[in-house]
Structure 1
């Protein structure tokens, strides 16, 4: 086998291969031998890594005759895509943890695996060590998945957890996450939702057998989450989480395929009674709701060198067994071709907190704006604050476009001093 990349995850893969060589050989039925490791900086000291295996010529490594499978942990789009395609073209099976590549061009990789008869495994690309993708690919392949809902980014979950449990501000919580190694020096991919969006695209492809890219995913990060949002959630006995949501939107005529799929990532309030509300610190958890299996929950460490390497080793054993047995694993087929619906058509609920003038007629004027967009109000709470008042409105489910339009109209009312908090509400329909 060949290893592309030897950073935090790659080094851990090497350590596990060396430390568990006998056990892995017994599980596979043949020894797993590392033929080479492609890196960009060959002079870097890598404890536990045989320098004789290190090379900078990744292209030559993936096409060597003595290599029959390739593990990629370098990340990014290129050269990872070209190297993996070249490996499969020469009959080699591939294991990757590259969520960005799978979310941008997974369809091309799946097509290459089918064309060249190669295995393509990628359990480590979503939720670290949590066995999530293989159940979607194999265990639930005979079922009809309706919805996937979860926390798939440990950095943002840690930040939001600190804001909720300790009253920390966003910046302080982010700095603590960086100090603990949960967040990168540049946390943009995490806090702006790019990481979660890539994972949501992968989950949607698997769950609904339809092509979805990261560009199709509606994405909002957590940088705008305020103390008022967190406090408002507490008043509703809820907590704020960054959620990845993939759901099949039913057709009006009841067709089993559905009208399309909705894939989105944003911070939302969920009831504290919901199991996802108890997911603390940097952990991940994902609900999968299927027609026959019902709701299933997957929980565990979602990032880090050791958890990610564990997922890679699981794939490695599965692929190696296939090679020894002369078989191959499942290949994704995006036969459904369901459209990804725009966010405006997604049915959601809103929590809206307004600072308003404390005088008669205010509630009626606010309610009228909701009625104009045909948005039903579920609950209202008003508290006087001298000449001003705080008004909290929680809506029933409605098209997101209608809810967004209502908020924009509210901002223009003379009686509204400020729209202090706007957040979607999720999770009440899940056990």
Structure 2
């Protein structure tokens, strides 16, 4: 063996789709470099796939469909999981951890629901659990939050963490096309899955937001704690209205440390479309790219940008974790454990301070603005800006608010819709990235 001490780290790979195939390729092509970085040769001990006969490109002696046997084998040091989903993957990884195997996973859905259970099993066995590839693909994001910024106080993490929705909104913004036709085009080009529900309805981003909030605020946050809205209701008119005001629309994951008037802290985690100024760092992120904006007390403002999905980019993150885990096993050390010491409560969406952009179709007569303004005042919501345009016998009225609890803003909109001077509430969208 051409390694420092002759040691070999044996890897079980679960799943060999697009990402798994790239992991196999990189392990083979970069074997010598990986050995030098890890301090031991990193070799595949087995590859578990559902249907071995469908993978003639893999060495037959490595392929198996018996996952449990592979992950508990005494010949395996590290399990790399790229299958996705929750069950039976959760049990496979628990079996691996309890058998003393370190785990590298890209499974955001599993981590967003069961990270506490997995970390407890890893701690009990004295092994590692790494998951850089679970959020933002090739972008080195989780490790900086988990390690590099461990001595800082993070106040906010906000970003584009789903490439499919970002591609769709970017295309709608540039072409003026509607949501349905843009989704169809995204599917044709391979940017959207055959069933795009997890992406366009915000489930994928919500899982990632849970992971980001957990790491940033040292608090256990699950996907069910994350307020979630997708992009299916975003219209070409919304993009056009945003453009008039020098804004664009993005689906953002927003995780914040919120301090109440009495000094108590809580965590807010949400995913929904927002209007942001075109001058904001996230506004120019186009196509299927991801970008995450982090604010911290000492470090200030940081930006992480790059390819958030794809076989090779995601495999890059997986290999980075694999080298780190292999190095730890060679020297007898461990990587960072779960940090949930803050245990902050998760703030309900209704109590979370947000800003609204409200577009109304109203009657063209005197007193309309006064009635609308009274409705906002009745809920303690302050108006930041008003824009009005007349056309024939109707008028459009756009109101942008200052920060207020989301429930108060929602109730205000409900009351405005009942006013006899309001023909229609055309659209409601939250606003981010501007002075509050």
Aligned partners of 1:279 and 1:52: how far apart in 2? 44
- In the TM superposition, residue 251 of structure 1 has moved relative to its aligned partner by 3.8
What is the rounded CA distance, in whole Å, between the counterparts of 2:43 and 2:197 in structure 1? Answer: 37
Greater CA deviation, 88-97 or 177-186?
A: 177-186
Q: CA RMSD in A?
A: 1.0
Aligned-partner SS, 1:284: strand
State the secondary structure of the residue aligned to 1:61: helix
Structure 2 residues without counterparts, runs of 5 or longer: 1-10
State the secondary structure of the residue aligned to 1:78.
coil
Contact 2:242–2:275, Cα closer than 8 Å, also in 1 = yes
Contact 2:176 2:240 in 1 (8 A): no
What aligned pairs does 1:335-414 form with structure 2 within 5 A after superposition?
A: 335-414=341-420
**Superposed counterparts of 1:159-170, under 5 Å:** 159-170=168-179
> 1:289 matched to which residue of 2?
295
TM-score, length-scaled by structure 2: 0.96
For the 8 Å contact 1:204–1:263, the answer to whether it is kept is yes
CA offsets 1:198-226 (integer angstroms, 9 cap, x no match):
00000000001111000000000000001
Kept in 2, the 8 Å contact 1:97–1:124? The answer is yes
Instruction: Determine helix, strand or coil for the equivalent of 2:337.
Output: coil
Describe the superposition over 1:275-312 as per-residue Cα deviations: whole angstroms up to 9, x where unpaired. Answer: 10000100000011111011110000001111111100
Q: What does 1:23-422 correspond to in 2, within 5 Å?
A: 23-47=33-57, 49-254=58-263, 258-422=264-428
Residues 152 and 243 of structure 1 are in contact (CA less than 8 Å); yes or no, is this contact kept in structure 2?
Answer: yes
| Rounded Cα–Cα distance in structure 2 between residues aligned with 1:354 and 1:170 | 21
Write the distance in 2 (CA, Å) between the matches of 1:157 and 1:46: 36
How far the C-alpha of 1:58 sits from its partner, in A, is 0.3
Query: Could you list the per-position Cα deviations for residues 97-116 of structure 1 after superposition, in whole angstroms to 9, with x for gaps in the alignment?
Result: 00000001111111111111
Could you say if the C-alpha distance between residues 230 and 245 of structure 1 is closer, same or farther in structure 2, counting changes exceeding 3 Å?
same
TM-superposition CA deviations, 1:17-44 (whole Å, max 9, x none):
1111111111111111100001111110
Tell me the CA shift for residue 45 of structure 1: 3.1
User: Deviations 1:64-107 (Å, cap 9, x if unpaired)?
Assistant: 11101100000000111111111110111000000000001111
SS of the aligned residue for 1:189 comes to: helix
**5+ unaligned residues in a row in structure 1: which ranges?**
none
Whether the 8 Å CA contact 2:122–2:128 is kept in 1: the answer is: yes
Which deviates more from structure 2 when the two are superposed, residues 5-14 or residues 197-206? 5-14
**TM-score by structure 1 length?**
0.97
Aligned residue number for residue 5 of structure 2: none
Q: How many residues align?
A: 426
Q: Give deviations 1:237-286, integer Å, cap 9, x for gaps.
A: 000000000000114344xxx52100000000000010100001000000
1:429 positional shift? 4.6
Counterpart among 1, 4, 20 of residue 10 in structure 1: 20
